[in-house]
Structure 1
């Protein structure tokens, strides 16, 4: 039992240690003695800036990782994620539409548009890939990236046309520098959505095996597919509204965890959530200390690390696939050879059969 949860325990301990450390990383110096003495300025920094930022980081890491895990299972492809499935691009378009037609809308008003457009964009992507006859492991995410680029092009065109580029730039590049008390609480929506994903984890596994398999087991395929994609879209939209675009988290984290823990969602959800939060937290700490006292956008750090890891995973998956195909071909050749020999022996007399065997 202890061996089974060893990786989960290690990730939880590392996350706890780095979470405490991140509270003391920043432009303004904080120390434990001043907090213990009741320094109002130090307590204000902690409650208004540092703690909300930490909570937003943890929710972002957990949410985007779980969203990627669900999308990969439902689309039956390890390279599908909110980044390669046009979910993030659709949420950005929704925010721009809210800024154009409801310029005085609150953060929650923009979030509603982001939710709607993210759900719609994700569903269009899934509807499209379901009609692709040849679902290569690389073809599906490439289609999603092209679809996302089309949506991104529309967003950029509208932003330039209506002179909204400056206003939209906050949501195009992910960063936690503007996360303050009163401006980040939307990410708390991720908590009930992740709980809902845990409840339906086994259903997502079954739906990922195909429509016919789901119907044979009595699982409502269309409803579970809609539920999973809606959870994914709402998690992504809530992150984009508060933090902005952060790529690769939903792509690389589930893949890394699945290498060590397998592909069953319920067995990997805890490790995926913890590792996702840990990955985002490490990237955020790096972004704060590289050019201190200035700060880099976390999208830059995640993009660099994520690109390197993504290329490595792509090469690993393709190499693993070639080896698997080669093994299958060798087995087929051996089986066909044995079948041919058996047919030749069956036509011989019993004495010749015995001599040919020996």
Structure 2
């Protein structure tokens, strides 16, 4: 996302995918009940993520917002709308069950089940395989649309495909772990400090270091206030938010 938008502060959550997944989970937890059994919440969350993705593309197409920056703005607008709808469904739902929804929205691994792991695994293999295979296009996109087009990259089509792939990857993760922010934003910057900006290295190392960071945050969430498990999203939000401020200072000349 940071490559195709040329924005160092971009990540898939800006597309409203997390808000869509949260909306789906809220509907499942507070209104429909477990109509599909234990997979009800993941399925509804994933459908919400897909809905958010298509809604962003529809808004972008409606407003002819095919540039990188305007696609991000379309995502932010959709995120606000879906968040408002999620809050409305919480207000209209059973208030005695709201604590479950709030914990899920803050992120955690408590709802993940080993038997369901095949779904995000297949999504990860297909999505990351496509992105790594086209890493040379991502490298070209960092030079700007005109330069990338000169190098043979179908800029607008490739940008939309990357957005769809990132939305699917994010939706699959959010469907099983809740909304955990800032990992996808901060980890690539850490990786670039270690290996440079070549996406053939940045993508696989971001996946590895991001996973290690998430596991570390999960361990911290279980030991900080025993016997309670603190939602992982609180820890990643605190760490990522502070890092975000320093990043904005370093990138203060970049147009957001």
TM (normalized to structure 2)? 0.79
Instruction: Note if contact 2:56-2:74 (Cα within 8 Å) is conserved in structure 1.
Output: no
What is the CA–CA distance in structure 2 between the aligned matches of 1:150 and 1:259, rounded to whole Å?
A: 36
Which residue pairs with 2:83 in the alignment? 152
Match of 2:111 among 165, 178, 181: 178
Q: CA deviation at 1:221?
A: 2.6
Instruction: Report the 3-state secondary structure (helix = DSSP H, G, I; strand = E; otherwise coil) of the residue aligned with 2:14.
Output: coil
Q: Judging changes above 3 Å, is the alpha-carbon distance between structure 1 residues 141 and 193 closer, same or farther for their aligned structure 2 residues?
A: closer
What is the CA–CA distance in structure 2 between the aligned matches of 1:252 and 1:312, rounded to whole Å?
A: 11
Which residue pairs with 1:78 in the alignment? 8
What is the CA–CA distance in structure 1 between the aligned matches of 2:202 and 2:85, rounded to whole Å?
A: 37
Structure 1 residue 240 corresponds to structure 2 residue 168: no
Instruction: Note if contact 1:122-1:233 (Cα within 8 Å) is conserved in structure 2.
Output: no
What is the CA–CA distance in structure 1 between the aligned matches of 2:184 and 2:143, rounded to whole Å?
A: 21
Structure 1 residue 225 corresponds to structure 2 residue 156: no
Q: CA deviation at 1:300?
A: 1.1
Which residue pairs with 2:233 in the alignment? 299
Instruction: Note if contact 1:85-1:125 (Cα within 8 Å) is conserved in structure 2.
Output: no
Instruction: Note if contact 1:176-1:243 (Cα within 8 Å) is conserved in structure 2.
Output: yes
Which residue pairs with 1:169 in the alignment? 102
Instruction: Note if contact 1:122-1:229 (Cα within 8 Å) is conserved in structure 2.
Output: no
Match of 2:183 among 249, 253, 256: 249
Structure 1 stretch displaced more, 145-154 or 252-261? 145-154
5 Å-filtered alignment, 1:260-271, equals 260-271=194-205
Q: Which runs of 5+ in 2 are unaligned?
A: none
**Bigger radius of gyration among the two:** 1
Which residue pairs with 1:198 in the alignment? 132
Match of 1:312 among 238, 246, 250: 246
Instruction: Note if contact 2:182-2:240 (Cα within 8 Å) is conserved in structure 1.
Output: yes
Q: Which runs of 5+ in 1 are unaligned?
A: 1-70, 323-358
Instruction: Note if contact 1:92-1:172 (Cα within 8 Å) is conserved in structure 2.
Output: yes
Match of 2:23 among 90, 93, 101: 93
Which residue pairs with 1:337 in the alignment? none
1:145-189 C-alpha deviation (Å, 9 max, x unpaired):
565233211221133234486364353120112333324443212
What is the CA–CA distance in structure 1 between the aligned matches of 2:206 and 2:54, rounded to whole Å?
A: 26
Structure 1 stretch displaced more, 239-248 or 294-303? 294-303
TM (normalized to structure 1)? 0.59
What is the CA–CA distance in structure 2 between the aligned matches of 1:203 and 1:98, rounded to whole Å?
A: 39
How many residues were matched structurally? 246
Instruction: Note if contact 1:87-1:122 (Cα within 8 Å) is conserved in structure 2.
Output: no
Instruction: Note if contact 2:52-2:78 (Cα within 8 Å) is conserved in structure 1.
Output: no
1:48-69 C-alpha deviation (Å, 9 max, x unpaired):
xxxxxxxxxxxxxxxxxxxxxx
What is the CA–CA distance in structure 2 between the aligned matches of 1:317 and 1:113, rounded to whole Å?
A: 35
What is the CA–CA distance in structure 2 between the aligned matches of 1:289 and 1:207, rounded to whole Å?
A: 42
Q: CA deviation at 1:207?
A: 3.9
